[in-house]
């Protein structure tokens, strides 16, 4: 007997909804609470891409078995939030923009003062000098604050403590194997103690079968066997 040249991927995930691509070709969408998504593909290694909103995209190679069904459980990890980084970046950019304006104004005032000095028209205590000095202080302070915010934003853009999305495959099953697994939503495996507890739990007692012999009703005759299961 020869196996067919294709297999099935039976895909489910922990995410509410995932889009599945095999070798960059869309193959379907799986939603939580529905049957696993069966994707037929020629046997052999293929690139599997699983996407979900707000979660890290999974990309990896998977080996499709010949004439078998490969249950694949995709664990989609949420993307690390970047709100703080964006906030820092925006505020930093605004502060640096303001600082650049102050710096430009300061430079303009300085140029005016320098030109007036060269033409002999600059007076001691020129009020523009005080204004320009404060602009320069403001610009430098703005650049410092903006720089710190920029560095923080960069760090927070780079920082990602969460693992990447991953897949776990079960043992392939035959196409017509009645014992083929029906993948369900991922559940943490039971620990040894839980398994022991589960084994030790007594089966609910069945009610004993009831047997009546002889006359049941007022006028009944014969034998009746009754039971409850």
Partner 1 sequence: MRTALCLTLLGALSLGCSWSRYDDVTENAPIVLLNRPKQLNDGFGSSLATATPPDGPMLLVGGAPLSSGGAVFSLGSGDSPSTEARDTGHCLDSPDACYFSSSPVALQGAKGPQETRNLCFVDGAGVASKGKGVVVRCEDDNVEYALPLPEAAASLLDFSIDNAQPTLFQFGADHGKNPLLLATAEEEKGVWFYPSLSQKFVEIPHPSNNKGLWAPGKRVLAVARVGDEGRLLAVGEPTAGSVRLFYAADGLTPSYVGCLGGTSGFGRSLATGPVVRGDDDDELVIADDHLVYVFDGARLASLPPATDSACSLGGLPEATLVTSFGCGSTKNISGCDGSDFGAALAVGDLDGDGDGEVVVGAPLMTVRHTERAGALIIYDVEPPATGSKRQIYDFLDIAFLSSADQDDQLGRSIALPNLGDRQLLVAGAPGGGKAALFYCPSFLPAELAGGRCK
Q: Is 16 helix (H, G, I), strand (E, B) or coil?
A: coil
Cβ nearer to partner 1, comparing 158 with 218: 158
CB of 79 to partner 1, least distance (A): 16
Q: Which of 172, 152, 212 has the alpha carbon at shortest distance from 71?
A: 172
CB of 122 to partner 1, least distance (A): 5
| CA separation for the pair 75, 61 (Å, rounded) | 15
**Residue-level length of the chain:** 229
CB of 21 to partner 1, least distance (A): 25
Burial label for 101, CB within 10 Å (0-12, 13-18, 19+), is middle
Cβ nearer to partner 1, comparing 43 with 107: 107
Task: Note the residues at the interface with partner 1 (CB under 8 A).
Answer: 89, 96, 99-100, 102-104, 106-107, 110, 113-114, 116-117, 119-130, 132-137, 139-140, 143, 146-147, 150-151, 153-154, 157-158
Cβ nearer to partner 1, comparing 131 with 168: 131
| CA separation for the pair 135, 116 (Å, rounded) | 19
Neighbour count for residue 142 (Cβ, 10 Å): 21
Contacts of 26 (CB under 8 A, 6+ apart): 19, 20
Cβ nearer to partner 1, comparing 103 with 172: 103
| CA separation for the pair 211, 62 (Å, rounded) | 60
DSSP strands (E only) in 52-116: 58-64, 68-75
CB of 140 to partner 1, least distance (A): 5
CB of 24 to partner 1, least distance (A): 25
Cβ nearer to partner 1, comparing 13 with 106: 106
């Amino acid at each position: 007997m020869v196996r067919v040249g294709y297999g099935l991927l039976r895909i489910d995930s922990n995410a509410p909804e995932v889009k599945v691509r095999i070798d960059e070709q869309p193959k379907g969408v799986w939603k939580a609470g529905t049957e696993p998504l069966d994707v037929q593909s020629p046997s052999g290694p293929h690139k599997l891409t699983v996407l979900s909103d707000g979660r890290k995209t999974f990309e990896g190679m998977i080996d499709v078995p010949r004439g078998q069904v490969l249950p694949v459980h995709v664990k989609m990890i949420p993307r690390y939030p970047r709100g703080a980084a964006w906030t820092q970046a925006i505020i930093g950019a605004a502060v640096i923009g303001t600082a650049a304006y102050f710096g430009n104004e300061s430079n303009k005032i300085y140029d005016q003062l320098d030109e007036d000095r060269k033409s002999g028209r600059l007076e001691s205590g020129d009020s523009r000098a005080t204004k320009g000095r404060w602009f320069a202080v403001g610009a430098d302070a703005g650049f410092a604050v903006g720089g710190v915010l920029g560095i923080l934003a960069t760090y927070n853009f780079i920082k990602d403590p969460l693992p990447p999305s991953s897949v776990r495959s079960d043992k392939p099953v035959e196409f017509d194997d009645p014992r083929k697994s029906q993948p369900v939503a991922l559940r943490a495996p039971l620990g040894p103690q839980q398994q022991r507890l589960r084994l030790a739990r007594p089966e609910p007692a069945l009610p004993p079968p009831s047997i009546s012999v002889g006359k049941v009703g007022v006028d009944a005759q014969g034998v009746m066997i009754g039971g409850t299961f």
